[in-house]
Structure 1
């Protein structure tokens, strides 16, 4: 080996040691890539260096780091020819001279404007698997030697190991940090049932944890099944109002349950509104499904302002957080529905109670266990009890019209027969004055399954009405007696007065004292009968007197003598 070769190998060894030392001193994958592209051009005597990483989701290489070239050049669609890319995917390095002349793909204009004339492309390998591409570029026409290619390949392998190791180290750190953050965020979102608070907590905390520009949550509307923005942070109103994203192809995959990572958001065809994305300064996007158990209820999107290849730990954290958030969101939704239902029930109950209170009947609602679940104001006022003393009590313990033998209870009959009942009850108390009459109507409410849910009983105390009816009957009987007495008196008076006149004529013709005494006795008895019939004829009148309400009763009276 000649001195020149020894010197060259010594230089390579120094460069290799320097690169190894540099890349082993940091643990952040992005720092490793930035360090490599910054240091290699000087160490390898080239003008520029780029690193692109393989995005398995799209089977394409996305920019990881670059130095010495413009953004316009980096944004080109085609990295190199198909033949070169095939060689790289097989793990083989390639080196080309005069690429500005021999460029055989659609990036010719970018290459010539950038002034690139030579390029060495090296696969970044880890465990014999291609994970990225390292490219070294010169602006002079240069043919790379086999030694340079071999040495650069060794460096690329070191870069691959360094990136993988730093990724693993960072992922371990992230997993510990994510576990702590997940516990904290879970505690926050599960400490409330307020849907807005839960959503805003998630979109506020995730950017802090993952170092993001912003975060959005879109939920599927149950009626339209369309995604609607529910919460956001770190983004302008102009960007948020850019329009519907329902047609973005990335969302179709997310709504099938798979996360989607987009490195170059401003150019990736899986998202729309590229101009708005550029103006907002968004570089990379991670979209994950929000699930409630197996049901997808929305989409969580994480957005960065620097190019970022999301690690597996970051994706897993986002997925776990979305699932945790999904459960909390569904709980809050369920609570909101229950609260709304209770409010509606309360409104309906108040409406029903108002209707019941407006009735002049006593109304009770009884459940299948014969416990009172609702009463109206009239019942409470009649019984002299408060609502809290009545509700939940057994029917037989609180109603005043209960029978001594509850086996014949109409409520039990309505529950058993599932038919409406109308009955008239006469309940005799210990005192005759305690007897009451009740008109009762019982209506069972039957569910769609055929079971009685409630029995509604409407009761009217008709005791006063019954007493009036009895008094009316008594009055009618009395009137009949009075009419009969008057008729009988008139019928008796005619022959009686004839007999009296005849007796008085006969007395005038008598001379015997004994006969006169006999006839006087007869005349006296006839006059006694006449006085009696006279009294009977005088009891034929009556006067009307008000009794209760609009009801009148009569009082019999006698005619005064003139």
Structure 2
């Protein structure tokens, strides 16, 4: 320790030279730590003393920086350790009063905060000078000088300390402002670099690595970790970490109401712990494995106002966090939120595209993608197999070279293809000249951000073979059943003429049943043949002008035996003047009989059926109402499909499923329409319309 000179400079010139030298020395530095060190050594060297300390205050009166010198050595003392002195000791009194003070004997003044080294048996009483540091009438800090001997300082020492403090105040304020601007610049630089670095990738692992590297660099910490909230449990799961023992942090979970991180998630704002003491409740996952968690700072990761995770920084390299560290971490957390969200969206999109590609490649149907002009740019495995071309060869062809495009459906420039599929049957040609029947589904899609057309070419070879078998069956029915039935009918009619009159009463009912059964079989055969012809858009047979009431009467006669057998009532309601219609008479008669037979079949015994007819503008409207079990709304469209069979009253499917399909095609072939409605009470109402015959 330098010898203590208690003799002050005697002449004013010496004092002025001292202050000039000190002022120049203070003003020649801008870094706050350097300025504080020079102030302390200026006090010890020019006033004398054992130790000196300075605490720097911000505009709100908070201690933000400090320095302590013992003899010729600068000691590491944190701002936290000096806050007690500023709040309760002699420095605190000076801060509150803004007055300089000289304590000749610290043991006799209650303003002196006694420490262990102040015990009489150790170093005894001391002399202390404490002066405020003012600049532009603002308090910027407090300077304290201590001598180990009581009554070592006098008023002249106090005056010199005040003079040094006057010079130091402005220098410390400038250095503090410079330090704050430097910190703000570091914050802005860290955020700017973070924004650039975090957006260089959309892969989640790379995004996590970039966020943590920026966090560790900006806050100068030993370890940084990133945790995301598990939506199902509410726990925070550390997804990534960097720095010391980082590999042991990944995968750790923080319970919903444990530790600093969960508090940050709940409250939505950051928190910083400068010194982890026993009363600080850390989660087990926040205790660094193999290392003591001395300090930590935690900021939320926000996405659209919702906290999805946290950024945590552990153990600053400089022992304490900078004042702006939490602000920096919060800014990085904000940037991380949008970056993580973008990466999550990218991963979801990438996964969806991969699922689409897997479905695309694994589909059993040939699929090709074209641009809006029909040029193929993508084809799946089945398209290559069916066409006999490689996928690369397909990409050099147009869609019209793969199959016969129905331009009437698609439009010459494919302008009719929209979001809903355009469907038609066509033929796919392979490289060897083979032809494959296909059903084409074409619709617009967006692929890789560009509008495209997806063509699904479904193989219908088996269906075509079944259709051919059905046509063969129809031909067989026509040729192999119609002729024998005609012979049976002729035989029944002949029997009616040869049976003696005495036996006719018994035989007539039997022959009538046989006659009606033969008629039903012939109607079924005719319906099957007509159904096949109508499906192929063949023209109707001979058309005549006929009265609907006549056809209704003939239909009722055909089904009367079945209705009487079930003790049902057949009611007819028709207008007095109903216009005639121009129809294939036999076909429309069978439509009426089919509807009446269905009504009789599904109506319970002793039930009631009603057939009605009336004029409806340019159409004649005929309806068949029963009081059977009714048809669910979900089945009212499908009921007219070919081979669609509804359950009868006993819960079993009835019929072959061709009757209503025939009715639909027959009515539509005449320019009418057919549908089913609910009966007012119970049952169904089948309604169809036929155009009124045009007058010649």
Structure 1 CA distance for aligned equivalents of residues 321 and 165 of structure 2: 19
Name the CA shift for 1:92/1:334 in 2 (closer, same or farther; >3 Å): same
Residues 221 and 227, structure 1, Cα contact 8 Å, conserved in 2: yes
Equivalent in the alignment of 2:118: 111
Which of 95, 118, 129 is the matching residue for 1:120? 129
The answer to whether the aligner puts 1:54 opposite 2:54 as a matched pair is no
The answer to whether the aligner puts 1:145 opposite 2:162 as a matched pair is no
> How far has the Cα of 1:155 moved from its partner?
1.9
Stretch moving more, 283-292 or 236-245: 236-245
Secondary structure at 2:460 match in 1? strand
Q: In the TM superposition, what are the counterparts of 1:130-529 in structure 2 within 5 Å? A: 130-142=139-151, 144-169=153-178, 186-201=195-210, 203-204=212-213, 212-214=220-222, 216-221=224-229, 223=231, 224=234, 226=236, 228=238, 230-233=240-243, 247-248=259-260, 252=264, 256-257=268-269, 265=275, 298-299=310-311, 301=313, 304-306=316-318, 310=322, 318=328, 323=331, 326-327=334-335, 330-331=338-339, 333-347=341-355, 349-351=357-359, 354=362, 356-357=363-364, 406=409, 460-461=460-461, 462-471=463-472
1:216-268 deviation per Cα after TM superposition (whole angstroms, max 9, x unaligned) = 2434436236373733336787999999696349974996556x777x63669
Name the CA shift for 1:181/1:474 in 2 (closer, same or farther; >3 Å): closer
1:17-44 deviation per Cα after TM superposition (whole angstroms, max 9, x unaligned) = 4432332232210111123223422321
> How far has the Cα of 1:478 moved from its partner?
7.0
Residues 303 and 341, structure 2, Cα contact 8 Å, conserved in 1: no
Secondary structure at 1:192 match in 2? coil
Quote the RMSD (CA, aligned, Å).
Answer: 6.1
Structure 1 CA distance for aligned equivalents of residues 252 and 386 of structure 2: 67
Structure 1 CA distance for aligned equivalents of residues 130 and 19 of structure 2: 18
The answer to whether the aligner puts 1:24 opposite 2:20 as a matched pair is no
Determine which structure has the larger helix proportion and give its number: 1
1:64-85 deviation per Cα after TM superposition (whole angstroms, max 9, x unaligned) = 1111298799947731647862
Aligned pairs, number: 447
TM-score (ref. length: structure 1): 0.57
Name the CA shift for 1:164/1:443 in 2 (closer, same or farther; >3 Å): same
Residues 254 and 287, structure 1, Cα contact 8 Å, conserved in 2: no
Secondary structure at 1:7 match in 2? coil
Name the CA shift for 1:419/1:227 in 2 (closer, same or farther; >3 Å): closer
Equivalent in the alignment of 1:7: 10
Name the CA shift for 1:300/1:47 in 2 (closer, same or farther; >3 Å): same
Residues 89 and 111, structure 2, Cα contact 8 Å, conserved in 1: no
> How far has the Cα of 1:174 moved from its partner?
6.7
The answer to whether the aligner puts 1:78 opposite 2:84 as a matched pair is yes
Secondary structure at 2:53 match in 1? strand
Structure with more relative contact order (C-alpha pairs < 8 Å, separation 6 or more): 1
Name the CA shift for 1:238/1:463 in 2 (closer, same or farther; >3 Å): closer
Unaligned 5+ runs, structure 1 = 428-435, 445-452, 485-562
The answer to whether the aligner puts 1:66 opposite 2:78 as a matched pair is no
TM-score (ref. length: structure 2): 0.48
Structure 2 CA distance for aligned equivalents of residues 437 and 147 of structure 1: 114
Name the CA shift for 1:158/1:214 in 2 (closer, same or farther; >3 Å): farther
The answer to whether the aligner puts 1:93 opposite 2:100 as a matched pair is yes
1:178-229 deviation per Cα after TM superposition (whole angstroms, max 9, x unaligned) = 777766565444333344444444554666677x353524344362363737
Name the CA shift for 1:121/1:236 in 2 (closer, same or farther; >3 Å): farther
Structure 2 CA distance for aligned equivalents of residues 179 and 261 of structure 1: 20
Which of 21, 33, 36 is the matching residue for 2:36? 33
Structure 1 CA distance for aligned equivalents of residues 117 and 394 of structure 2: 88
> How far has the Cα of 1:156 moved from its partner?
2.3
1:352-410 deviation per Cα after TM superposition (whole angstroms, max 9, x unaligned) = 753x41xxxx677999x99999998767655656678889x999x689687685499xx
> How far has the Cα of 1:139 moved from its partner?
1.8
Rg larger for: 1
> How far has the Cα of 1:49 moved from its partner?
0.5
Structure 2 CA distance for aligned equivalents of residues 104 and 271 of structure 1: 35
Residues 289 and 299, structure 1, Cα contact 8 Å, conserved in 2: yes
Residues 290 and 300, structure 1, Cα contact 8 Å, conserved in 2: no
> How far has the Cα of 1:157 moved from its partner?
3.2
Equivalent in the alignment of 1:553: none
Name the CA shift for 1:293/1:117 in 2 (closer, same or farther; >3 Å): farther
Secondary structure at 2:45 match in 1? helix
Residues 296 and 312, structure 2, Cα contact 8 Å, conserved in 1: no
Name the CA shift for 1:229/1:265 in 2 (closer, same or farther; >3 Å): farther
Structure 2 CA distance for aligned equivalents of residues 324 and 92 of structure 1: 43
Name the CA shift for 1:15/1:340 in 2 (closer, same or farther; >3 Å): same
1:322-376 deviation per Cα after TM superposition (whole angstroms, max 9, x unaligned) = 646743663355234423442344236525753x41xxxx677999x99999998
Structure 2 CA distance for aligned equivalents of residues 238 and 470 of structure 1: 74
Equivalent in the alignment of 2:523: none
